[in-house]
Chain A
Amino acid sequence: MTKNKLLEVMTDKSVDFLRHPVCHHTPLSFRRKTNYYEQIMLKHPLPSPFHSLAEYLHGGLLEADPSVQSYVPQPYQFKINGKRYIPDVFVIRGNQKIVMEIKPEAQTPFHYEQYLEPFLHKYQIRFEVITNESILAQEQKAVNWLKIVQVLVAANKSRIRTTQLQDEIMSKLLMSDEAIELGDFIDSGDRQRTYATEVAVFRLAHAGLISLALEQSDLGFDTVLSL
């Protein structure tokens, strides 16, 4: 028996499904057993299930990465050696399609990698294992981006238009020689008045047109903006 015969796709066997998966439903019994997070994201605009803190933070990091077009948490269900296995996330980055598994460093190398890598390679999909530790090292950045995602999802739902404001912000950043902070665009006394500008800044950052210094400090009025 070859190794690949041990692997079976349980959800949908079509090639198209493998390349364009949909989020696998997490059963209630499993949701009650795990450290479960659920949030509507921007690059996966549906309730996205995450089965651990590391997975949730990784979602924030994917949102922060402008090269990632979209991702699907819990994409497929495989049966490997008779045991069910759901990878953590499917990511589309540029022309690449990547299936990622998030594991603690102590549990690497991942024992299903030998089955998954050749199987997914046939469909031009890469398989990667990321350690929890590497994600938790960027916790501050991830936490900040998860907050920005919430603001942007709410703004998108309310159809807040910011095209003109985005142009104004870009021109201001281009003309300025000094470092500009988020507080320069937000009126702390009347947040309501500058709400659209705040959304515009976050939209620019999410699109990768400007960068926010969120790696070391909390999101706040003193967050530095740069091109």
Chain B
Amino acid sequence: MNGFRSTLIEKPELNDLNNWPMHVDTATMSSKNRAKFIRNVEIIKYFQQGVSVKKTAMTHNVSPSMVYYLLNRALGTYDGEPPALYKGLIPNLIQHEKQRQSPMPTLADGRGSVFAFKALLKKYPDIEVELQAKIKASYRGTATSENLTPNILHKTFLSLLIQFGVPKDHYPYTTQSLAYQSVRRYFHDYLSELRCPESRPWRESISKRSDMAFEEIQIDEQHFDCETAIEFEIFGRRTLVRVKRFWIVMATDCSTGCILAFHFSINLRCSQWDIMNVLKQIHYPKPKLTIQTPSLSYPEGPNLNDLKAWLPRVQIGVISLDNDMAHFGNNCIQYAHDQQACLHYGHPENPNAREQIERLFLMINTVTHRHRSTTGSHSHDPIKESKRLKKKPPKVNVQTLLEMMSIQIAEYNQKPQARLGGICPVEKLKELIQHQYYCMRPPQAPQSQLVKDPKLRKLHFSKTKKQHPWVNFYGVRYTVMDWSKSVNTTTTVSIEFDPQDIRKIKAYLPNGDFIAELIVPRMWRRYAHGIVTRKRIIKTTKNLLFASGDAFTEYFTILQKNFHKPSVQLEMVRLGFENSQSRELVLGMVKTDDLSEVGFSSNSYEQSANYISSQIRMPWEQVKIS
């Protein structure tokens, strides 16, 4: 250590307190320490004014050695480091790591054991390496790692002392506890050191900075607690069931933070069709809902529908998704490629890479309740459902829930944000599109509900029977309704379909020429159904189909039998929700003379429908939401 005199010779300007940079905040000190600090500053000031050390000490009622001590603390240097200055005048502040000065205590020479443990580890570094390795192994928390406690570590320490030949009359054998407290403190200190996050090299990425509309769109979904009840009416009997959870899928533009699309899914799992729904809304935003709930209304102001004319022409840059299986659906990937967008699946377990969408879910989480784990709320969860609500849950219409979410998102899009310069996300998006450069797409065909199937399907022709050609699609044979372009040989076709209603599909040649519309067999025509419903019906009624020949009846019978199960109740709600928009099957292209083969007789269909409905009522006829 160099004393204060050598510092003052090297830097004479430090002999004036006005030249010391002030970097100590006295407001954060305790009143006792603040008083002592001010006294210390006064002592230095007196010394610098040329007052003798003895007189300075007398004036401030301290010993002369205290004056020298303070001067050395403030102006002395250690290992070439700059002097501590004001920091050195803070009372009780440890400036440098302390070390043991005197020899290690032995049984013959009974000295105190201050910093003896540290000195021991310095003398025998292998002991420290072994101790650290043991704590590290425990910290990793693998299945085979030891559940380490200070007591166990102390026993290891004692065995290491023997292993490395520490003399039996030296420290720690001089103490009664054999340095137990030192080992305990070392254990906790090193553990907290391991727990500290490591600083990683950071680089500003241009790829993450976006000032262009649709340069990056982040999509994610989250499970929410619904905690509400829906009332079913089955054969005149009302049953109250609780739909506990639902999914929300959202898409946001990173440059503006605008929520471009959202989808509400009452389902056990989020599927690729939910993601597709959101992807389609990016260019063609959904119109505002017709609010049916009294006292609810959309906020007045700009909304995404004002940009309807521009949005379809904006090229999407990157679509950021996480590595959920639903995001790897072939239909999602195909759709992104059709839009010439780049698909980006980030590193697993790294939600911060998509901070924009995660922040939006955080915004929604403040008004809803999300379980802390997959098994539900902890008994001490401060925001868990109250006992009163548990006994008598509030009844909320599914439609109302959807309307509330839609209004909440519309409000967010219209709320001015400081980071956007005091304007709302929708206005910012409008500004970017109308006044800034954005990548442009070629003119697009009008919006269509149809989705292109990524798989090429085979168009089959029967060699033995006289029947229309067909295509197998999601487990069912679809027959050609009417040829627009005759195809004579067996060929592969690409299919376009509406994922909400797959009763009718369109077939195209690989070069893009339209061939024909294909229709599902009669037993599947009764209700509009999506791919999810079709798959579930086929899976559930696989062995029962031949018995009655009506897949819908079989499926609804099974649902009704298992109505007490929450999963079935959820499925009933989903079916009701899927069928809320009644769709008519148009068979306009069927030739009247070919009805027996490719169409169906309306009379016989009505008869069979009446017969079936007399046997069982369909879920969407039964669901009455109150």
Contacts and interface: CB of A to CB of B under 8 A. Distances in A.
A31 B442 contact: no
B207 A57 contact: yes
Nearest to A158: B442
A109 interface: no
A32 B340 CA distance: 21
A150 B315 contact: yes
Contacts of A158: 442-443
A172 interface: no
B323 A32 contact: yes
A32 B344 CA distance: 11
B442 A139 contact: no
Contacts of A186: 437
Interface string A28-63: 100111111111100000010000010011000000
A220 B442 contact: no
B440 interface: yes
A136 interface: yes
The 8 closest A-B CB pairs, nearest first, are: A158-B442, A39-B342, A220-B437, A32-B323, A36-B345, A38-B343, A154-B340, A139-B206
A133 to B, nearest CB: 9
Interface stretch (A1-9, A187-195, A204-212): A187-195
Interface residues of A, number: 40
B206 A31 contact: no
Contacts of B323: 31-33
Given A151-B440, A157-B340, A32 B328 contact: yes
A140 interface: yes
Contacts of B348: 32-33
A139 B203 CA distance: 12
Contacts of B328: 28, 31-32
Contacts of B583: none
B16 interface: no
Contacts of B441: 151, 154
Contacts of B333: 38, 47
The secondary-structure label for the interface of chain B is loop
28 contacts: A31-B345, A33-B323, A34-B347, A35-B344, A35-B346, A36-B343, A37-B318, A37-B342, A37-B344, A38-B333, A38-B342, A38-B344, A39-B340, A39-B341, A39-B342, A39-B343, A56-B342, A57-B207, A136-B203, A139-B206, A143-B207, A147-B317, A150-B340, A150-B439, A157-B340, A157-B442, A188-B437, A195-B440
A221 interface: yes
A225 B436 CA distance: 19
B212 interface: yes
B440 A198 contact: yes
B60 to A, nearest CB: 57
Contacts of A192: 313, 440, 443
B340 A47 contact: no
A40 B440 contact: no
Interface in A113-154: 136, 139-140, 143, 146-147, 150-151, 153-154
B337 interface: yes
B372 interface: no
A210 to B, nearest CB: 18
Contacts of A155: 442
A154 B442 contact: yes
Contacts of B211: 218
B8 to A, nearest CB: 46
B307 to A, nearest CB: 14
B435 interface: yes
B366 interface: no
A146 B343 CA distance: 13
B28 interface: no
Contacts of A219: 437, 439
Contacts of A53: 205, 207
A146 B342 contact: yes
A129 B323 CA distance: 29
Given A154-B340, A157-B340, A191 B313 contact: yes
Contacts of B207: 53, 57, 139, 143
B155 to A, nearest CB: 40
A101 to B, nearest CB: 20
Given A150-B341, A158-B443, A195-B443, 6 more contacts: A31-B323, A147-B212, A147-B215, A150-B340, A160-B442, A220-B437
Contacts of A220: 436-437
Interface in B49-75: none
